Amino acid sequence: MKTRVLMVDDEKEFIQALSERLTLRDYDVTTAFSGEEAVEKMKNYLFDVTILDVLMPGMSGIETLREIKKIKPLVEVIMLTGHATIETAIEGMKLGAFDFLLKPCETEALVAKIDKAYTKKLEHDERIRAAKVAEIVDSPIAALKE
């Protein structure tokens, strides 16, 4: 299964080119041009990894991150930032972002980070599934009720 990636940045040219490149590398990429749009898409679709620009007009990266973590706590978020907002990126990490990257970034580095994040999410999902299985094994009736 392809890794489902949501890319959020107000710089359309940048995000389109990047999404195309990731698509070429076999990722399932969706783009959003603002924080609000990203939150909307997050509600409606399933994603594994989100790449989030920190500096955006309207809803900022950090606010978007908070919202996303509220809606889908399991989605891994990679912050994308100019250097000057590195503190913001660190703040993002504290809020549960997986990692951050400096613009302009090497595509290979980005791909590596996405894969890592995806692996982490998979492991996470796996553990949840295992826990659920254990639960079902423990009390199948309760699981059925659910």
Partner 1 sequence: MSIIDRLKPEFWDYTDVAAGPHEHLFDFRRMWKLAAFLTAAVAVIPLILLSALNYHVTQSSIESERLSRTARLVSNTRRTIFYFFEERRSALDFIVKENSFESLNRLGSLEQILKNLKNSFGGFTDLGLIDPLGRQRSYVGPFKLGGKDYSDQNWYREVLKNGVYISDVFLGFRNAPHIVIAVARSHPNGLSYVLRATLDIKKLDDLLSDVEVAGRGDAFIINRHGILQTPSLYHGKVLEKLSLPVPDYALKTQVVEGNDPNGVPLFIGYTYINDTPFILMVVKDKKALMKSWYKTRMKLIAFLGISITLILIVVVGMATYLVNKSYMADQKRIMTLHQVEYTNKMASIGRLAAGVAHEVNNPLAVINEKAGLIQDLVTLKHQFGGDPRLLELVGTILSSVKRAGTITKRLLSFSRNMEISVEPVNIKDLIDEVLSFLTKEAEYRSIRVSLIASEDVPPIESDRGKLQEIFLNLINNAFAAMSDGGNLDIEIKNGEEDKVLVTVADDGCGIAEPDLKRIFEPFFSTKAKKGGTGLGLSLTQNFVREIGGTMTVASKVGKGTNFTITLPLKMETKEGGTNEGVVNRR
Query: ∠ CA(116), CA(117), CA(120), 5° rounding?
Result: 90
Tell me: does residue 83 bind partner 1 (CB under 8 A).
Answer: yes
Tell me: does residue 91 bind partner 1 (CB under 8 A).
Answer: no
Our CB check for partner 1 shows the closer of 66 and 103 to be: 103
In contact, 66 and 95? CB cutoff 8 Å: yes
What element of type H or E holds 50? strand 49-53
Which residue type sits at 59? M
Span of 43-51, 69-77, 84-92, 120-128 interacting with partner 1 by CB under 8 A: 84-92
Tell me: does residue 104 bind partner 1 (CB under 8 A).
Answer: yes
Q: From the CB of 96, what's the least distance to partner 1, in Å?
A: 24
Tell me: does residue 146 bind partner 1 (CB under 8 A).
Answer: no
- What is the three-class DSSP state of 29? strand
Please identify which residue in 93, 95, 105, 111 interacts with partner 1, judged by CB under 8 A.
Answer: 105
Residue with the two structure tokens 């940045």 = 9
Tell me: does residue 57 bind partner 1 (CB under 8 A).
Answer: no
Q: From the CB of 9, what's the least distance to partner 1, in Å?
A: 9
DSSP 95: T
- What are the residues facing 32 on neighbouring strands? 8
Alpha-helical regions (H) of the chain: 12-24, 35-44, 61-71, 86-94, 107-138, 140-145
Tell me: does residue 24 bind partner 1 (CB under 8 A).
Answer: yes
Tell me: does residue 120 bind partner 1 (CB under 8 A).
Answer: no
By CB under 8 A, name the binding residues for partner 1. Answer: 11, 13-14, 17-18, 20-21, 24-25, 55, 82-86, 102-105, 107
